[in-house]
Amino acid sequence: MSPVLDIDALLNDPQTRVIVCCGAGGVGKTTVAAALGLRAAESGRQVVVLTIDPARRLAQSLGLTTLDNTPRPVLSIDVARGGSLDAMMLDMKRTFDEVVMAHAAPDKAEQILANPFYQAVSSSFAGTQEYMAMEKLGQLRLEADRNPDNPRWDLIVVDTPPSRSALDFLDAPKRLGSFLDGRFIRILAAPAKVGGRAYLKVFTTGVNIVTTAMTKLLGGQMLTDVQTFVAALDTMFGGFRERADHTYALLSDSATKFIVVAAPERDALREASYFVDRLDEEGMPLAGLVVNRVYRVSAPGLSAARALAAAEELDDIENGSPSNGRSGVSDSTAITQALLRLHAVQAEIAGRHQALAKRFIAGHPDIPTVEVPAASQDIHDLVGLRTVGEALAGQRA
């Protein structure tokens, strides 16, 4: 039997500075991240929750009208223990703009921000969202560390992008950094930086052939935009790789804890297994697994088969008794039968969920795990988030 994930011990440990919630899309990562942040804040921590979820469910649950790239305080929490809670949603392009403005001279930054190729890269380049999520995490941690005696935040909770490729946010910083800092893109930039005869003196005829081929492939204007972009970005070369390495070190630090969130479905648990293996391969500090939205029944001793049999038996009893002039079953019997059949459906789902969860846990016996029961309705306020937090901490009626 696997150990139980002690959420309260994790949240209350001052050495825990970052919690990263990861998992496949649609398993409830955003809700789990918000519930963790709220529980930690109401336990006395200074918390900021960073979500990547564009559906804005986090804002609604926290009672905020909107979330953006600026941390906003959640005012309706219980602050009796001195905690606080801020929340924000990643604005991918704005974060990229902030990186440019922070690490390039003002005139260069202006050129970069106005460049069409930059605008395309900052909005839609593969891996940009994941890179910027990690960039924002680094910014939040840097701001938290500026005043160690009285930090603005002592815990950062990150809701990672809903990427099909699981841990893309681990790979994206290196991938984007390598692209922007790579030899190939420097070759593209060479005509803009050197130009004319000097260019011919420095580079071989082979580079000319590459540039001509790229002009045919991309079009002259786009190639010019790329060259101008990279020439303006020259002062930032190396910075992307350096920050990627710094962020990767932050993720692998003992103060960071990963929580893998899964739903009790085959595909979600298969993804969770990949997450667990990849985190272990990368040497990342895995705290445990949350199996979210697990169906449970109020009468676990009543199986689906027995519930259906009882419903049929009521039919036989009712049809064999005097009907007092009425045909069919009585209202009370009909209600009882409906409840029994509903229980049978729920018991069948609950049995499947438990079987899948047990199979996964058996394959990962050393990973601390906690199950969160499926809510009877959507989580849309702080009361619902507190209930999820209690379930995460193993407290349930």
Q: For residues 290 and 35, what is the distance between their CA atoms, to the nearest angstrom? A: 12
Phi, psi (5° rounding) for residue 369? -135, 150
Q: What is the pLDDT of residue 121?
A: 72
Q: What is the pLDDT of residue 177?
A: 56
Q: Which tokens belong to 238?
A: 């190396």
Task: Map residue 283 onto helix, strand or coil.
Answer: coil
Lowest mean pLDDT among 52-61, 105-114, 312-321: 312-321
- Using 50, 70 and 90 to split pLDDT, how confident is the model at 21? very high
Higher-pLDDT residue of 114 and 209 is 114
How far lies 353's CA from each of 4, 62, 72, 297, 378, in Å? Answer: 18, 29, 37, 12, 19
Q: What is the pLDDT of residue 217?
A: 44
Q: What is the pLDDT of residue 233?
A: 61
Residues of the chain with CATH 3.40.50.300: 7-173+238-297+361-392
Q: What is the pLDDT of residue 156?
A: 96
How far lies 303's CA from each of 2, 12, 310, 333, 373, in Å? Answer: 26, 40, 11, 20, 18
Average pLDDT over residues 34-63: 86
280-304 pLDDT, tens per residue? 888 899 999 999 988 776 666 677 6
Predicted TM-score (pTM) of the model is: 0.77
Q: What is the pLDDT of residue 205?
A: 42
- Using 50, 70 and 90 to split pLDDT, how confident is the model at 226? low
Q: For residues 43 and 144, what is the distance between their CA atoms, to the nearest angstrom? A: 19
pLDDT(238) > 60: no
Q: Which tokens belong to 369?
A: 């795990």
Q: What is the pLDDT of residue 249?
A: 87
Average pLDDT over residues 26-35: 90
| Count of C-beta atoms within a 10 Å radius of residue 8 | 15
Higher-pLDDT residue of 338 and 215 is 338
Estimate to the nearest angstrom the gap between the alpha carbon of 208 and the chain centroid.
44
Higher-pLDDT residue of 392 and 75 is 392
pLDDT(60) > 70: yes
Q: What is the pLDDT of residue 192?
A: 45
| Count of C-beta atoms within a 10 Å radius of residue 267 | 12
pLDDT(198) > 60: no
Q: Count Cα neighbours of 58 within 13 Å in the Cβ-side half-sphere.
A: 33
110-144 pLDDT, tens per residue? 888 888 878 877 776 656 777 787 788 888 988 88
CB under 8 Å to 180, separation ≥6 — which residues? 233, 236, 237, 240
CATH of 7-173+238-297+361-392, one of 3.40.50.300, 3.40.640.10, 2.60.40.10, 3.40.50.970: 3.40.50.300
User: Which segments within 141-206 are labelled E, that is strand?
Assistant: 155-159
Estimate to the nearest angstrom the gap between the alpha carbon of 209 and the chain centroid.
44
pLDDT(203) > 70: no
Task: Give first-to-last CA distance, the chain, whole Å.
Answer: 23
Which percentage of the chain shows pLDDT scores above 90?
23
What angle (nearest 5°) sits at the alpha carbon of residue 395, between those of residues 6 and 287?
20
pLDDT averaged over the chain?
77
Phi, psi (5° rounding) for residue 50? -110, 120
Which percentage of the chain shows pLDDT scores above 70?
70
Q: What is the pLDDT of residue 79?
A: 93
Lowest mean pLDDT among 114-123, 164-173, 346-355, 360-369: 164-173
Fill in the amino acid letter for 159: D
Burial class of residue 221, CB neighbours in 10 A (0-12, 13-18, 19+)? exposed
